[in-house]
Amino acid sequence: MCGIFAYCGPKDNAGELVLSGLKKLEYRGYDSWGVACKNTDSEITIEKHVGKISGVDHLNKDLTDKPCHIAIGHSRWATHGGVTEKNAHPHSTEGNEIVIVHNGILENYEELKKELESNGHTFTSETDTEVFAHLIQENMSDGFENAFKKALKQGKGRYALLAISKDQSKILAARRGSPLIVGINEDAKEYFIASDIPAFLEHTKKVMYLDDEQMVSINDGIKFFGLNTEEEVQKRIIEIDWDIESAEKGDHPHFMIKEILEQKETLSRAINQEEDNILEAAEVIRNAYGTYIVGCGTAGKVGMVGTYLFSHIAKKHINFMFGSEFGSFLPFMKDKSLMIAISQSGETADTLEAIEEAKKKGVKIISIVNVETSTMARISDIVIPIKAGPEKAVASTKATTSQIAILTLIAYACAGKLAEGKKLLVETASQINDMLNPRYEGYIREVAEKIADIESMYIIGKDLNYPIALEAAIKLQEVSYIHAEGFAGGELKHGPIALISEGTPCIAIVAEDETKPHILSNATEVKSRGGYIIGVAPENNSVFDYWIKVPNAGMASPIVSIIPIQILAYELAILRKNNPDMPRNLAKSVTVK
């Protein structure tokens, strides 16, 4: 969940390059940050601070007054140990002999730490990470690479780890379950290592991917090895098609609003899929002995939408479970079962673990991901890219609607009606293009101003829009910090309606289908108890105190219904003086369990 960036190459300002790269990864970790530079005198100097890195222009002079060709850096989202300068990365052994940065959790760090302390090692932080540095130092008599390997073998858990040594002019890096990507500028013999591509996008679009249980050694060249073998692993260079502009805010004040507005284009890109890919996925679903959709957080809510889509469109029963709860359902998985995994990053730890366990039972995997070269994509049998481009705000917006669009296409393909599904989604994308304009944003800002001071609100939906009510609550929680809960409309009278008092805001998501009278009845029940009803619907109704119009999109109703609530969440965050891109306690890609 933290950001890692490193540079090795001919430029002598490696520290400043790493500082710049870390700023582009601040959405991954922002409690604290640090950079380590190895200068031409073989000294390693470390600078680290608590707080955000975005406002920092330069490193301290002791990191920049001598040429530096190797540097590693880290932006932290705290897991072990509080948010303090001592707990910030990089971590080192005494005299900075070994310096490391780490993303992940070392699960057995306590027992390893006790053993190292008995051998005379002294620790200065509360983190699990520092143990890795001392483990490497403990075995340096075997050489840097062997010591690095041995340390990783002793550790349990998921990680992305980088290490430099005072005595070696190289960077070692390895991964198990956490993302790590190598960028290569072949002409300049420059190498970059990062948690995510935007960190080095301005320098190169050529990448090489580390797989799990692999390491890379970089100095004036690059070599990949398996952690459990001495043999070199051959890797191919892949050229990515992302552009710098898509990874930057441009004229927008925040990534979140930029990415909300990009849904005009991203939906069209999601729809414009290779038909053979969608048809293959549909055929596999038709022949599967039980299909299970798995996702976490927002991707989980998208998966819940999928169960309704397949029921209505393809008359097909699809199971859903959150990745973190998958273990309880594993006994039902057979070698003819199918898993559909959904993730923006393709690096979500709980979902990856679910996939790994399913694959042990011979289950086929379809992944719906934004990052086509992610771990999830590489271990799946069928990959369907959502093509949303970089999504940097922590709260997912454009990826969410693209994922729903893909599930809609597959459901229609399962029913033998792919052309009908495409037509529906193309029309929906056109309507969204008309909807997303400054006047619409201003109208939603008005309702945000009316409710900005409240501390609790509720969202109700039915059928396809019940999961959207749950997703709406996530969006409002994430960035506005308002206590928001989503409910199936009919469930209100079974308990939650006791929470309604005079002026309590309640968003009613109303589609133009057979569920309309039922959800309007539920909204009326809330209003009769003093609730303030915000209607998200194609048509106005007397029960609404405030109406937010959306297109009448049929089976694409979940897509059009969530967008205005994304905007509302954003506007509430701004009014409440929150940073919508980096909400407290959250990180973009949850790569730890």
Amino acid at 546: Y
Q: Give CA–CA dist 69/288, Å, rounded.
A: 53
DSSP calls for 23-61: HTTGGG--SEEEEEEEETTS-EEEEEEES-STT-----H
Active site residue 301: no
Catalytic option among 23, 205, 392, 588 = 588
Residue 485 main-chain phi, psi, to 5 deg = -135, 140
Give the residues across from 295 on adjacent strands: 322
Tell which residue, 99, 89, 86, has the closest CA to residue 29: 89
Q: Give CA–CA dist 384/390, Å, rounded.
A: 16
Tell which residue, 542, 538, 519, has the closest CA to residue 459: 519
**Is the distance from CB of 260 to CB of 288 less than 8 angstroms?**
no
Tell which residue, 375, 392, 351, 296, has the closest CA to residue 3: 392
Residue carrying the six token digits 């199918």: 338
Q: Give CA–CA dist 527/503, Å, rounded.
A: 9
Q: How many Å from the N-terminal Cα to the C-terminal Cα in the chain? A: 10
Active site residue 588: yes
Catalytic option among 2, 37, 296, 506 = 2
Structure token pair of residue 536: 């998200």
Tell which residue, 5, 65, 4, has the closest CA to residue 39: 65
Amino acid at 146: N
Q: Give CA–CA dist 237/184, Å, rounded.
A: 8
Residue 118 main-chain phi, psi, to 5 deg = -65, -20
The angle that helices 418-435 and 557-575 make with each other, rounded to 10 degrees, is 30
**Is the distance from CB of 282 to CB of 410 less than 8 angstroms?**
yes
Count CB-CB contacts under 10 A for residue 124.
12
Q: Which residues contact 574 (CB under 8 A, 6 or more apart)?
A: 580
Tell how strand 382-385 and strand 456-461 pair up: unpaired
Torsion of CA 151, 152, 154, 158, to 10 degrees: 140
Q: Give CA–CA dist 105/103, Å, rounded.
A: 7
Tell how strand 291-295 and strand 338-343 pair up: parallel
Give me the active site residues, please.
Answer: 2, 588
